[in-house]
């Protein structure tokens, strides 16, 4: 392809770059957070009982599906659904299986969201 007009070349490159850098929607961010929970292989602690990362994802996805109409952003998802048990009010925790260190799920998810938004 022989392009003689440099301005046309710049426009074509711009159009290509815009189409390649799709902005994540809030739903995309929530799905990515759910994926990261499952991929983490951390132990999820809910109401004092330990669950696998896969079970954690399933539980939070179930809560999200029930409340989807009220959850508009990834921050809503974290703050309203993924912070604590709606039954007991106890905070959700993540435990690193390598060292046993526990972290509030809310803090872990907020860090994941910041990384995601920084690298967009």
Residues 68-119: pLDDT tens digits?
999 999 999 999 999 999 999 999 999 999 999 999 999 999 999 999 888 8
Radius of gyration of the chain (CA): 20
As a whole number of angstroms, the distance between CA 107 and CA 101 comes to 13
CA atoms within 13 A on the CB side of 2: 0
Closest CA to 77 of 68, 89, 87: 68
Looking at residue 102, what is its pLDDT? Answer: 97
Closest CA to 34 of 120, 116, 102: 116
Residues 1-57: pLDDT tens digits?
555 655 554 555 555 444 444 688 999 999 999 999 999 989 999 999 999 999 999
As a whole number of angstroms, the distance between CA 94 and CA 102 comes to 6
Contact yes or no for 108/114 (Cβ under 8 A): no
As a whole number of angstroms, the distance between CA 108 and CA 53 comes to 13
How is the beta sheet containing 43-46 ordered, strand by strand? Answer: 49-51, 43-46, 93-95, 102-104
């Amino acid at each position: 392809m022989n392009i003689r007009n440099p301005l046309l070349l710049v426009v074509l490159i711009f159009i290509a770059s815009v189409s390649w850098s799709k902005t994540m929607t809030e739903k995309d961010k929530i799905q990515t957070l759910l994926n990261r929970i499952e991929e983490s292989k951390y132990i999820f602690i809910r109401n004092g009982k330990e669950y696998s990362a896969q079970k954690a994802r399933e539980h939070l996805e179930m809560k999200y599906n029930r409340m989807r109409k009220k959850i508009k952003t990834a921050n809503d998802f974290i703050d309203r659904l993924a912070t604590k048990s709606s039954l007991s009010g106890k905070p959700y925790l993540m435990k690193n299986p390598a060292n046993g260190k526990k972290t509030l799920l809310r803090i872990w998810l907020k860090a994941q969201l910041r990384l995601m938004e920084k690298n967009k």
